[in-house]
Amino acid sequence: MKTLYPYLLAAMVLMSACRKTRYYSRSQIVPNMLTPIDANKNVAFAASFTLAWNEMKQQVGAPINNKAKAVKWMNDSPVSGDILGPKEFKRDVRIKGAEITMLVNFQRELGFDVPMQPLKEPFTFNGKAVKAFGMVDYDPEIVAETHLVYYRDEDHFVMSLDSKDKSSDIILAKGFNKGAQLHVILQQIQGAIRKGTNIKAYASLKIPVLKFQEEEHFKELEGIDFKAKGKPYKIMTARQKTLFTLDQEGARVVDSAIIEAVSTDSVEVMRPPNLVFDKPFVVLLQKKKSPFPYFMLKVENDEIMDANRE
């Protein structure tokens, strides 16, 4: 089995403007979990931007006081002290005059101990043929590293996948993509996990291969003026670049309101279910026992999947 060196790299740069790169039209990155999201787009969040924002506040020695909603969402963005340990990410904060440059790096390995099976049979996501992986032929080693933690029916369930990094989990939640913010979706998933299930066995597991690559300029933050201890500052550029892949080897990440209620009543079934991620779902990467993920991806469409033309 090949050795994986996946890592999470995120950057928040507050300096001279640079060119924006767009890879997709139906996908986006948000700077925090409180920003309103597009219901029809794939949406990614990495905690690095919020950590960088909080580091900036510490460096200037005062809160970022601005009445813009985007600033309020950043200031109120929920993160916890255990989202990543102090030795698990690097920060480079430089303040020169009114210009602030900030870089935050995460490095994680989230490969599977036992690779899953690439699917050779046809698989569709929202009716589109795409490449996938999982477990079609029973493999006790794959079963041992994949755990069904909530099950209502074959359109509403949550899986927890073990990784080589024993401090982190990969969580996949199907049927929990509705919400005005990622934070709302996260709360729904957490509620389902607390509810739990008595169902542990399953007949098959099928997950589409994901490849998300996007660079986003947060225009709602660019141009923001604020004062800290009487000194003026201006955010010239705020951007984040994210590359995320999920396949049979594991997850790899490089990262330079009105709620539609979802019932969480567990329903027992007589036969082992087929766990097929063929409709919108959510990916969470988080440390064990942490209340917040350090990476979250709402998978809404096939734009970030490989078409299967075989």
Model pLDDT, residue 81: 66
Residues 6+ apart with CB under 8 A from 23: 213, 214, 215
Distance CA 79, CA 82 (A): 8
Model pLDDT, residue 18: 33
Rounded to a whole number of angstroms, the distance between the first and last alpha carbons of the chain is 25
Model pLDDT, residue 150: 96
Model pLDDT, residue 24: 77
- pTM value is 0.84
Low-confidence ranges of the chain (pLDDT < 50): 1-20, 257-269
Residues 6+ apart with CB under 8 A from 58: none
Distance CA 77, CA 289 (A): 19
Mean pLDDT in the chain?
81
Distance CA 265, CA 152 (A): 7
Contact 305, 131 (CB under 8 A): yes
Contact 285, 108 (CB under 8 A): yes
Model pLDDT, residue 106: 63
Model pLDDT, residue 265: 39
